[in-house]
Amino acid sequence: MKAVHFGAGNIGRGFIGALLFQSNYETTFVDVNTELIDELNKKEAYRVELAGTEDYMEVTNVSGLNSLNDEEKVIEAITEAEVITTAVGPNVLPMIAPLLAKGLGEKKSTGLVIACENMVGGTETLKNHVYENLDEEQKEWVSDRISFPNAAVDRIVPNQNQEDPLTVMVEPYYEWVVETSSVTSELPDIKGITYVDDLTPYIERKLFTVNTGHAVAAYLGKYNGHHTIKEALEDVKIKNKTQAALGESGGVLIEKYGFNTEKHQEYIDTIISRFENPDLSDEVTRVGRGPIRKLGPKDRLVRPALEYIRLKNEEPVHLAEVIAAALDYRNEDDAEAIELEGMIRKKGKVGAFCEIAEINENHPLVKAVEKHIN
């Protein structure tokens, strides 16, 4: 069995690539990083270490292709693959879509495309970008043969410097949930995938807990002078505020999907304990990078805050505080942070937030955030 995975970075190798290997797939990684691609082709294997343990896994039966230099080979690999996955980041999906479209347009067999990204509706977004690069005949061809199920993924892969550029450390915990309602082809037997009819509760549980919690620790940590997530959560005030913010986002989940209150609190506690794992300690600047995207209307801070107002008919206190801290985020090595700073100079914090979150200045969330800004 063959798979193509776009994104040879730590998440791609340490999470998706590892599970594909355990499911007996021959995986071709596609990336623009020449060093990683050359190393994959040289060694045809890499090591995955499990944080907090002595356990590790040797992933074999892998190779690499450079999407800039090996376009024809990438297209050929796509046509031969039963499964195509991505872990490239939301902003890169439009960039890989033209090449993916060429491969799918020539594919004769059925297949599955799954975007394993930290976003809601990642595969649907990728599908739309792919279809923009197909003519009407190709769209019909691809629609009949290729399924694009949305997915929710969760595994912490910390920033790391390994002696071997292919070696990657990941946490033992992971979750990969794939929605089956749009799948017309046979479901692949991939170790670690949970197939469900409706993905929405799982996506929002992950987004409103893991991603929200990470953002809380990162932005409040940075604001208070901490350098790592672990260091931030050792600050009792920040840990309590993280719990409180996840209590607000958790209240939304319980209200919308009927999650058991006690079990969801256990889930919150598990997530925070994962953040506290010393082997997974990550820099607040890496977790907080891309503040404009993370302050967007569908992302980890604004979305649960808007839902909280809608369902509870009251302002969120703790999520609003984190949003205010995110507006104070500064990092000269982060292009979005620099762009955010420029927006704030021109429009002020409230004006910049309204534009990014796509809400007007009279919205209750703006009023809640403004209290913390002031």
C-alpha 93/C-alpha 293 separation (Å) is: 14
13 is in an annotated binding site: yes
First-to-last alpha carbon distance for the chain, in angstroms, is 58
320 is in an annotated binding site: no
Sheet holding 193-196, edge to edge: 151-154, 175-179, 193-196
29 is in an annotated binding site: no
C-alpha angle with apex 152: 179 to 149, nearest 5 degrees?
35
Those residues with Cβ within 8 angstroms of residue 264's Cβ, 6 or more apart along the chain or in another chain: 205, 250, 253, 254
Let me know if 256 is exposed, middle or buried by CB neighbors in 10 A (0-12, 13-18, 19+).
middle
10 is in an annotated binding site: yes
Amino acid at 304: P
87 is in an annotated binding site: no
3 is in an annotated binding site: yes
**In angstroms, what CA-CA distances link 99 with 105, 113, 127, 240?**
10, 13, 13, 46
What's the helix, strand, coil split of the chain in %, to 5? 55, 15, 30
192 is in an annotated binding site: no
Backbone angles phi, psi at 146, to 5 degrees: -115, 130
**In angstroms, what CA-CA distances link 140 with 80, 145, 173?**
19, 9, 39
5 is in an annotated binding site: yes
How many CA atoms within 13 Å lie on the side-chain side of 106?
15
Amino acid at 257: Y
360 is in an annotated binding site: no
247 is in an annotated binding site: no
* Concatenated DSSP letters of 225-250: T--BHHHHHTSHHHHHHHHHHHHHHH
Do residues 147 and 113 touch, judged by C-beta distance below 8 A? yes
| Partners of 152 in beta bridges | 177
Do residues 165 and 39 touch, judged by C-beta distance below 8 A? yes
Coil vs helix vs strand at 195? strand
Tokens coding 357: 């979150």
Q: Would you list which residues are annotated within the binding site?
A: 3-14
Instruction: Please state the residue numbers annotated as binding site for NAD(+).
Output: 3-14
